[in-house]
């Protein structure tokens, strides 16, 4: 059986920095209020009306990952694009990205699993690669969430940012790489975090737009409590499956939803700060892009090296939660 490994990472975020003080000019919030509840001090948003989509951000992240992996775009056999804010309903953002980077030999499709999208995508890629169907794959998480927010709602507008992260994976003969992936969902609680309108059940209308039904809605306190529980379940599943204790981890890369959730999971695991990657203070919640962005920064900083045991975990709308364990 081949062993899929991540051989290159990359990321890209917009240049436009939006601080908590910037938001306080238009919505009822303060820098202190946002920091105390979320740990966020700034986020990156594409310029309004710029026409920049997630595939544009993903193109730069993908080119960086390909360069770091030493792989040409024509060598990519499959592109899996994880997003909940696609450029268009048709075509997929994966197909747009394929054209932009010149991956002429690649199949391409999108994965929608909200904040758990990247780990869901990793599990999808793992399955394809372990069968030998594809040997060189590009996995991307990218979002432009800033234009999906009700900027009069401080509970959501302060949380989300735009960005993209990418990984190149290639099969190897040596054991290691992706050790296991674990996916979970509970659709009965989808209204805790959802967009009420915009799909085929409730298509866009002037009335629905006026009621701001096209924007993300969240039941914050409920989501926080559920998130902590499900985050821990995903972590426990990965460790138990591989017969490992938290002490065996070299690096924990959690989804960057809320710094307080990360702190609670970190305390449960008993991990020191040096083993936990946190960048939510600078980027906010970039949903499907948050884990690959954090993963790239950890690799670049030398926090992840050959042989490192790395745990990824996420929780998001759907509801979905997921984890993956990797030997680098």
Q: Rounded distance, CA 100 to CA 156, Å?
A: 32
Please name which of 32, 264, 295, 52 lies closest in space to residue 158, comparing C-alpha atoms: 32
Active-site residue, from 115, 167, 232, 251: 115
311 contacts 253 by C-beta, under 8 angstroms: yes
283 contacts 43 by C-beta, under 8 angstroms: yes
Quote the tokens at residue 51. Answer: 């026409």
Active-site residue, from 82, 255, 258, 296: 255
**Strand spans (E) along the chain:** 3-12, 17-19, 42-44, 78-82, 107-111, 136-143, 163-172, 177-185, 193-194, 217-218, 251-254, 309-316, 320-327
| Ramachandran angles phi, psi of 9, nearest 5° | -130, 160
Please name which of 9, 58, 64, 59 lies closest in space to residue 303, comparing C-alpha atoms: 9
Active site residue 115: yes
Three-state DSSP state, 98: helix
27 contacts 151 by C-beta, under 8 angstroms: yes
Please name which of 301, 56, 1, 2 lies closest in space to residue 169, comparing C-alpha atoms: 2
Look up tokens 């296991």; give the residue.
Answer: 180
Quote the tokens at residue 180. Answer: 């296991």
Q: Rounded distance, CA 263 to CA 267, Å?
A: 6
Active-site residue, from 20, 68, 258, 285: 285
Burial grade of 36 (CB within 10 A; 0-12, 13-18, 19 or more): exposed
Quote the tokens at residue 136. Answer: 């060189």
Catalytic positions, written as ranges: 115, 255, 285
């Amino acid at each position: 059986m081949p062993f899929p490994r991540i051989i290159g990472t990359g990321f890209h975020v917009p240049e436009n920095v939006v601080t908590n003080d910037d938001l306080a000019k238009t919505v009822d919030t303060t820098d202190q209020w946002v920091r105390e509840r979320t740990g966020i001090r700034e986020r990156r948003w594409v310029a309004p009306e710029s026409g920049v989509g997630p595939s544009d951000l993903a193109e730069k992240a993908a080119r960086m990952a390909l360069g770091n992996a030493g792989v040409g775009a024509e060598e990519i056999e499959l592109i899996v694009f994880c997003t909940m804010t696609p450029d268009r309903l048709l075509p997929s953002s994966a197909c747009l990205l394929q054209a932009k980077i010149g991956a002429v030999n690649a199949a391409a499709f999108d994965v929608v699993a909200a904040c758990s999208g990247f780990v869901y995508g990793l599990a999808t890629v793992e399955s394809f690669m372990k069968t030998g169907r594809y040997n060189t794959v590009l996995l991307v998480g990218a979002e432009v969430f800033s234009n999906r927010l009700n900027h009069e709602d401080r509970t959501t507008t302060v949380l989300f940012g735009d960005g993209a992260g990418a990984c190149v994976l290639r099969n190897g003969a040596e054991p290691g790489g992706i050790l296991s992936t674990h996916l979970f969902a509970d659709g009965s609680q989808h209204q805790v975090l959802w967009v009420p309108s915009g799909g085929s059940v409730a298509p866009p209308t002037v009335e629905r737009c006026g009621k701001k039904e096209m924007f993300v809605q969240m039941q914050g306190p409920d989501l926080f409590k559920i998130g902590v529980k499900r985050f821990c379940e995903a972590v426990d599943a990965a460790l138990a499956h591989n017969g490992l204790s938290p002490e065996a981890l070299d690096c924990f890369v959690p989804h960057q939803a809320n710094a307080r959730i990360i702190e609670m999971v970190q305390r449960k695991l008993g991990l020191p700060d040096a083993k936990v990657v946190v960048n939510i203070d600078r980027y906010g919640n970039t949903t499907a892009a948050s884990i690959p962005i954090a993963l790239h920064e950890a690799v670049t900083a030398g926090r992840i090296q050959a042989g490192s045991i790395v745990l990824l975990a996420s929780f998001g709308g759907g509801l979905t939660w997921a984890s993956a364990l990797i030997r680098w």
